[in-house]
Homo-oligomer: A and B are copies of this chain.
Amino acid sequence: MNWTVIDNGDVTSPRGFRAAGVAAGLKQSGRPDLSLVFSDRPAWAAGAFTSNRFAAAPVAYDRALLARKAPVRGVVVNSGNANACTGARGLADAEATAAEAARLLGVSPTEILVCSTGRIGVPLSLPVLFRGLNAATAALSPDGGAAAAEAILTTDTRPKALALEVRENGATYRIGGMAKGAGMIAPKLEPPHATMLAFLTTDADVEPGFLQACLTDGLDGSFNRITVDGDTSTNDTVLLLANGAAGGNVLNQTSPGATRFRAAVAHVMAVLAREMVRDGEGATRFIELCVSGAASRGEARRCAEAIANSALCKTAWFGGDPNWGRLLAAAGYADVQVNPERVSLDYNGVPIVREGRDAGTPETEQAAALKGPECRIELDLGTDGTGTAVVWTCDLSYEYVKINAEYHT
């Protein structure tokens, strides 16, 4: 690797970033619900947002702000309320949030991005949010990344954050990131899709077009290959801020370090995406679904998604049941070409199906291959095509039902 992982790294590991996470009171539980990430200097921003037709007010706000192609200074993120399906008031509330943060931070409102996650359809309480903003501004710290990663969570059981240090020409720059899941996770992000939220920071000096390209290129191998429940949120947002505080040359697509930067960003995105699925609502098992032998990449993807979102497959995984018929049935209704006489399937390298029929592996060995917290499932559709796709997903447990039959905030 051309990078090292920073112990307990997060979005404030890159130089020139401060952050905070506080309990504003948007969550009835009283848990932290407002994060602020601030760059001490102007930063280029790249973003990707949900393709949901009911995209939330902060998504509309951020899209418009990024279209200005001007540097930004910070991001306000609240959990506990999605500010989605809130009409004109929702958009006004997003604007007011940015304006108040800007006022407190002494910057322009057009330099503040806003994100929300939580209940849909309930107007934000600005007085509550503003009190939190005040506290978050006061608490901003170069060590605040961990608190920020905590305050963006909803049904997540743990924060997700990391940071890398990349050595380039004798100098170093850093890339930090944090993310939250844990339900309504099937991002289909349009470059400039989740309510996953992910935030990356870097102190590298990056040309803005290349910054956006790196983010966009990283989606396929990260957030756009995950699904917890097949439900694509109204609020999914990925943001990447680059403030240049590390010094060094400006990175663009022709720079000697371009490939390394791109790979490092992709790695941070992939780690966060994988962690999001591992911490998916009620998840007890992580599934890496690899589909090959499809007529096209799109068909491989559609097939993998059908399996990953099949309630029957997901509950079988929870039960540790090798019931491969459910996987083939899902592949069969995915509206993709299959060759029933040539299809093959493996669980963690153990042959399950060969030439469309049971491979003869004893059921106890099939079941053993499914045990453990992770399983790699390889399905070859047997067509003459070479389409492949990878999707990361998880099982569907009693806990998932509990969380979602009772979750309200």
A: which residues have CB within 8 A of B? Answer: 51-55, 82, 84-87, 89, 119-122, 183-184, 186, 188, 229-234, 309-312, 315-316, 318-319, 321, 323-326, 328-333, 336-338, 340-341, 353, 355-358, 396-398, 400-402, 404-408
Contacts and interface: CB of A to CB of B under 8 A. Distances in A.
A316 B405 contact: yes
Contact of A357 (B85, B338, B356): B85
Nearest to A89: B357
Contact of A329 (B188, B234, B397, B402): B234
Contacts of A309: 230
Closest 4 CB pairs of A and B: A120-B325, A319-B405, A315-B404, A54-B332
Contact of A311 (B316, B326, B404): B404
Contacts of A230: 309-311
A185 B401 CA distance: 19
Given A53-B338, A311-B404, A398-B398, A329 B120 contact: yes
Given A86-B357, A231-B326, A319-B405, 13 more contacts: A52-B333, A53-B336, A54-B332, A85-B340, A85-B356, A87-B355, A87-B356, A120-B325, A120-B326, A183-B312, A232-B332, A311-B311, A315-B401
Nearest to A54: B332
A404 B321 CA distance: 9
Contacts of A315: 400-401, 404-405
Given A310-B230, A356-B87, A329 B184 contact: yes
A330 B357 CA distance: 36
Q: Which of A86, A353, A355, A405 has the most CB of B within 10 A?
A: A405
B85 A406 contact: no
Contacts of A325: 82, 84-85, 119-121, 234
B183 A231 contact: no
A331 B121 contact: no
A186 to B, nearest CB: 8
A55 B331 CA distance: 11
Contacts of A84: 325, 329
A51 B408 contact: no
27 contacts: A53-B331, A53-B333, A53-B336, A53-B340, A85-B358, A86-B357, A87-B356, A120-B323, A120-B325, A120-B328, A121-B324, A121-B357, A183-B312, A184-B329, A186-B333, A229-B310, A231-B310, A311-B396, A312-B404, A315-B400, A315-B401, A318-B401, A319-B404, A321-B405, A321-B406, A398-B402, A400-B401
